[in-house]
Amino acid sequence: MENELQKYFLGQDSSLSLEQLDAFFQNTKKFSDMLMMYQCAIREIRTKFEILNDDLSYRNNRNPIEMIKSRVKKPQSILEKLQRKNLELSVSSVMENLNDVAGVRVICSFVDDIYKVAEMFTRQDDVTVLEVKDYIKNPKPNGYRSYHMIVEIPVFFADRKQPVKVEVQFRTIAMDFWASLEHGMKYKKDMPDAEELIAELKDCADVIAKTDLRMQDINQRLQALSHPEE
Ligand code: 0O2
């Protein structure tokens, strides 16, 4: 099946448009099974964070997680990534080589919440951490900040236990706002004003990082006033 898929895309039919390929993948049973598997893994991970947030809110009277966003990568983006990385176009190649088909974004109020929630999450014994990239301690040159993690979790289906990889990104609200705006630069790097915009965005990222830390400090002082005995 995978070889047929590979031949299909690399052979005489390579003139197919991405929309057609997209449709083909959507209609391929094995491919849609795989997407369903990633969707289930996302549900498992979301539930873990929802439970952590409920428990922390019950104990401390505040929610460290503001929002959880998630997505399964679009078939077209999966295909583009395989092509870009010169990888085999098959379901097993996706599962082996791509770590971000399932993505969960955890938006926290403060930077220290990110590290606390991430630590509580990775302590769970069915979560295996495969990779961590700390772009908060080591921001990208453009100013991008977030805490990234690739994890593997087991998903239990009717007939099997399937380990599934999920990319989890942790950010503050401000970092998320910045990243959404900066995402617009992705295809505009050759525009006339691009250099100025890149510099402006970098400046905003630095201001945001300082503001995040100032607000965290204010919050800690407020908490100390509310619970002086702790
Ligand atoms: P989308 O649309 O969000 O999925 P890899 O995925 O391993 O090939 P890399 O660079 O090693 O690529 O992964 P990394 O650094 O962990 O970043 C992956 C994801 O982080 C990106 O996914 C973005 O979501 C986010 N990200 C990383 N750098 C930036 C950045 O400079 N700006 C913004 N706005 N987001 C960033 P995708 O697939 O690019 O996009």
Instruction: Sketch out the chain's domains with CATH numbers.
Output: 2-173 (3.30.460.10)
Q: Can you give the pLDDT at residue 102?
A: 98
Q: Can you give the pLDDT at residue 24?
A: 63
CA distance 165 to 43: 13
Instruction: Quote the ligand 1 centre to 87 CA distance (angstroms).
Output: 19
Q: Can you give the pLDDT at residue 99?
A: 97
pTM here?
A: 0.88
Torsion angle defined by CA atoms of residues 216, 222, 227 and 230, in that order, rounded to the nearest 10 degrees: 40
Q: Can you give the pLDDT at residue 178?
A: 97
CA distance 14 to 9: 5
Spans in the chain with pLDDT lower than 50: 1, 3, 12
Q: Can you give the pLDDT at residue 10?
A: 56
CA distance 147 to 3: 37
Q: Can you give the pLDDT at residue 171?
A: 98
Instruction: Quote the ligand 1 centre to 57 CA distance (angstroms).
Output: 30
Return the bridge partners of 170, or none.
Answer: 106, 147
Ligand 1 closest atom vs CA 142: 31
User: 169 near 104, Cβ under 8 Å?
Assistant: yes
Residue nearest to atom 17 of ligand 1 (CA): 148
CA distance 204 to 197: 10
